Structure 1
Amino acid sequence: MSYRVRWIVADQTWHDSFKTRALADSFRSELLSLARQGEPFDVATGQPISRLRTEAPTQRWYDHACAYADMKWPHAAGKSRQGIAESLATVTPALLATSKSRPATASLRAVLYGWSFNARRRAEGPPPDELVRVERWIARNTRPVADLADPTVLRPALDSLTVLLDGRPAAASTVSRKRAIFYNAVEYAVELGHLSANPITSIKWRAPKLSEAVNPRVVINHRQARDLLAAVRQLPSGDRLAAFFGVMY
């Protein structure tokens, strides 16, 4: 259960929710006291001006991820730049604060991988016209970096690294590479003061083990294997070659 306080600034209704009645009453009393003292309120946020001055700005994940890509870009090789963009584009959709009016997955991917986390393209100007609204929606709706300290937020972000775009499980090497980049991006948030410590170090998380399945399209069948071994035995050192290919099969 939560308790909501409503107030009006410049004919616009604002509200805030609190876990306890006491917190809600305290906030309401603060607003009334400031209003009686003639405190100006910000029409863009509905907050008292003095409150805005004392509150530190909240860094959202999307803005931080762009800053991280910019920081790494000048010193990273082409392959590394692709890996950074791929990893950040994978984890960012898992750090969205809402699904309301969420753009299509393909559009999210297009703007994140193709523009947001490509420092050169972002420096050249805005994204393509059809992706401008998508980019703005992402910028408004990613979670604050501080939310990563919550395991219920961090775990889904880590889990997102284990799945490919088509829904298939990612290879262990791919998961390990993306996790390392995500870890480094969170470490950069610690360096900038957005987090007091890297929460990934304290969370007990392991990528799920994948069951390796044989793909019949790329492995010969039993008849083909018998024919191969029979043909190999006709060659010089055929017995050894047959044993070699037999063990491989």
Structure 2
Amino acid sequence: MDSNGRYGGAVTDLAPWPHGDGCQERGSVVADLAGEFGAELVRAIRVGLAQEGKAAPAPRTPSHLSWYAFATEYARAHWPGRAAKTRDETSEGLTAVTLAMCWDLPGRPSERLLRRALRHWAFVVPKPGQPPAPVEDRLVLQWVAKASRPLADLHDPILARDVLESLRRKIDGGEAAVETMRRKRKVLVHALHYAVERGELAGDPLARVRWRVPKPSGSVDPRVVANPSQARDLLAAVSYVGGYRRARGRRLVGLFAGMYYAGLRPEEAIAVALPDCRLPQTGWGRLIVHRTLPQAGKRWTDSGDYHDDRGLKNRPPGETRVVPLPPHLVALWRESVTDFGTAEDGRLFFSERGGILSYTAYHYVWREARALALSPALASTPLAKRPYDLRHSALSTWLCAGADPAEVAQRAGNSVEVLLTRYAKCLYDRQSINNQRIEELLSAYENPRMLEQ
């Protein structure tokens, strides 16, 4: 009832009740109000009794699961459907954390044996028919299972910080690269979130630890970018690597040219197949990029091959990208098909035996070509040190030529934001033009006669 005498939608009168028929009418109103109030009271009592009748969930007791047992479970749960490189990175991160989560019990194996057993067997889902781990590795893993600390120990901020600090160190004790630290920490964070989902941890143990990975550089080092003249010299030098008959270098000229003239990533260039290309006699050609062949290792791929067969990077399965091919690149690719043919699946670039090119094979060729093409002074700099730097040089050149950033991003398979952020420091030609304009203006003021004119 409120101050106006309203209760449950009805109005009550505080004046004295009249006699006779009015009294009967007023009694009926009171009875209706009492009935409504009683019904509400009964419903409230029933709800309260029902809630009291439910047994309160008993609080979960602290998990006694060891970190090693949990990590192996996590690795197997996150194996199906993952990219081979992702599996490799997960194993690398779990190995680093596992080593930091072991007590120093007697009989500790060497660091080399620990890492080999963990990386090769502990966090890998074996393929059907695969032989078991060697006896030595099985003994190492038995020691790890005994020495592993409980997962719940990570709630201790001191231990959690020690584990995070271990991600900074390389095998030789030096400081790891920022990207390596970031990758390992990402694995640890995802694993702990999984533990919280499974109820093994009450909350995120890292929330109480103020520890951050150094921020990586988001831009390309301008020193790695080759200008068009340097790129032509490097591609010409590739053809001189190795003997003419084996053609170690000649068969890879088109591969490196695709990275420079079409801005392809190495794993995209390796997967280029003739049916996806339009290579006219003259003029511009076209390539439809839809497949990549990143090298991961037999242990991580479902097929057991060294290379994983994937779609485009950071794109949904089945998505494609159209890349225009300049006439010079079209001529190089036509010449490669004429001289060496194609692999069985139509790939333009392949090993002498027709296999997929390995990372080591084309990096050795590039290293030799770089020594041939560059002077000793330039060879000692980061200029085009890796084949991937050819892609950086291509995108920088396109932007310097004044190409529309949206079009450049589409050809490269990047977002416009990432493109401009990564290559903002590499626009040498624009800086030169602006420097020339500033110099002309300063020179004009140094010569007053020019201003009078």
The aligned counterpart of 2:377 is: 224
Larger Rg: 2
Give the drift of 1:105. 0.5
- Decide which of 108, 115, 118 is 1:112's aligned counterpart: 118
Aligned partners of 2:154 and 2:205 also within 8 Å: yes
Moved over 3 A (4+): 121-126, 207-210
Give the drift of 1:224. 3.2
Distance 1:113 1:200, change over 3 A: same
Cα distance in 1 for residues equivalent to 2:63 and 2:130: 27
Superposition CA RMSD, Å: 3.3
TM-score, length-scaled by structure 1: 0.60
Count of aligned pairs: 169
Give the drift of 1:97. 2.2
Classify the secondary structure of the residue corresponding to 1:73: coil
> Aligned pair 1:128/2:281, yes or no?
no
Cα distance in 2 for residues equivalent to 1:81 and 1:172: 20
Cα distance in 2 for residues equivalent to 1:123 and 1:93: 29
- Decide which of 168, 171, 187 is 2:174's aligned counterpart: 168
The amino acid across from 1:161 in the alignment is L
Aligned partners of 1:95 and 1:157 also within 8 Å: yes
Distance 1:157 1:57, change over 3 A: closer
Give the drift of 1:126. 4.1
Classify the secondary structure of the residue corresponding to 1:120: coil
Cα distance in 2 for residues equivalent to 1:56 and 1:140: 19
Aligned partners of 2:97 and 2:166 also within 8 Å: yes
Aligned partners of 1:149 and 1:199 also within 8 Å: yes
Give the drift of 1:108. 0.4
- Decide which of 84, 87, 96 is 2:93's aligned counterpart: 87
Cα distance in 2 for residues equivalent to 1:125 and 1:155: 38
> Aligned pair 1:189/2:192, yes or no?
no
Aligned partners of 1:159 and 1:207 also within 8 Å: no
- Decide which of 95, 104, 107 is 1:101's aligned counterpart: 107
The aligned counterpart of 1:65 is: 71
> Aligned pair 1:150/2:156, yes or no?
yes
The aligned counterpart of 1:141 is: 147
- Residue by residue, what CA displacement relative to the aligned partner does 1:178-217 show, whole Å, maximum 9, x if unpaired? 101111111111111111001112311124689xxxxxxx
Aligned partners of 1:116 and 1:122 also within 8 Å: no
Which aligned pairs between 1:22-101 and structure 2 lie closer than 5 A? Answer: 58-101=64-107
The aligned counterpart of 2:16 is: none
- Residue by residue, what CA displacement relative to the aligned partner does 1:33-58 show, whole Å, maximum 9, x if unpaired? xxxxxxxxxxxxxxxxxxxxxx7761
Q: Determine which structure has the larger helix proportion and give its number.
A: 1
The aligned counterpart of 1:237 is: none
The amino acid across from 1:224 in the alignment is A
- Gaps (5+ residues) in structure 2? 1-60, 217-369, 371-375, 382-427, 433-453
Give the drift of 1:124. 4.6
Distance 1:147 1:190, change over 3 A: same
Give the drift of 1:101. 1.8
TM-score, length-scaled by structure 2: 0.34
Cα distance in 1 for residues equivalent to 2:99 and 2:208: 23
Q: Percent identity?
A: 36
The amino acid across from 2:163 in the alignment is A
Distance 1:192 1:170, change over 3 A: same
Distance 1:56 1:186, change over 3 A: closer
Aligned partners of 2:63 and 2:201 also within 8 Å: no
Cα distance in 1 for residues equivalent to 2:157 and 2:129: 34
Distance 1:123 1:141, change over 3 A: farther
- Residue by residue, what CA displacement relative to the aligned partner does 1:89-147 show, whole Å, maximum 9, x if unpaired? 11111001234221111110011001001112699564211112111010111000000
- Residue by residue, what CA displacement relative to the aligned partner does 1:52-90 show, whole Å, maximum 9, x if unpaired? xxx776100001000000011002100000000011111
Cα distance in 2 for residues equivalent to 1:151 and 1:128: 37
